């Protein structure tokens, strides 16, 4: 449960007491990547995402709602079973945030028409989030897909 006050929020399920709305937003983004992505935690997906959550991923797909996001995430997991996201930097401005990310994983499934290579890849991305009523309502992720393709095909960018 989220309780909003003018410059203070309470969010017991985050495990700490954020001081500002920006702190809450930053914590939600970290939990999105730490739990919903890195731990594949479906409870975190339900807790963090609004019912109308719109997700545009680097692979070109758009997903709507927690169920749609899970399907996208599971598609990524089928290609990179050990997929990990590192949050490098977060900048928050009101109900919007920009995030710099680093993705890693071993290529174990077909992607871009390229059969599994078992190569470990790493690529960078930027994500843009919107917050509404204490939940993530939109995310648009722009990953270095050209660099990823080059690594999968054995040609470093």
At CA 153, angle to CA 151 and CA 156, rounded to 5? 35
pLDDT at 154: 84
CA 107, 144, 63, 89 torsion: positive or negative? positive
pLDDT at 111: 96
Instruction: Please give the domain boundaries of the chain with CATH numbers for all domains.
Output: 2-152 (3.10.450.50)
pLDDT at 5: 35
Q: Which segments of the chain have a pLDDT < 70?
A: 1-20, 156-157
pLDDT at 157: 55
pLDDT at 23: 82
pLDDT at 61: 87
Burial of 66 (C-beta count, 10 Å sphere; 0-12/13-18/19+): buried
Q: What is the largest CA-CA distance in the chain?
A: 53
Give the predicted TM-score (pTM) of the model.
Answer: 0.84
pLDDT digits (tens, 9 = 90+) for 26-42: 999 999 999 999 999 99
pLDDT at 15: 53
């Amino acid at each position: 449960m989220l309780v909003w006050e003018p410059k203070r929020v309470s969010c017991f399920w985050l495990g700490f007491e954020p001081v500002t709305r920006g702190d809450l937003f930053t914590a939600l983004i970290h939990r999105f990547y730490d739990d919903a992505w890195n731990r594949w935690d479906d409870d975190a997906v339900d807790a963090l995402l609004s019912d109308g959550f719109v997700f545009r991923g680097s692979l070109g797909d758009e997903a709507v709602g927690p169920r749609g996001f899970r399907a996208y995430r599971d598609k990524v997991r089928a290609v990179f079973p050990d997929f990990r996201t590192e949050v490098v930097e977060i900048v928050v401005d009101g109900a919007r945030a920009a995030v710099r990310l680093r993705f890693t994983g071993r290529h174990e499934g077909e992607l871009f028409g390229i059969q599994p290579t078992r190569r470990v890849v790493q690529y960078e991305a930027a994500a843009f989030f919107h917050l509404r009523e204490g939940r993530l309502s939109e995310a648009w992720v722009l990953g270095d897909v050209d660099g990823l393709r080059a690594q999968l095909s054995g040609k470093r960018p």
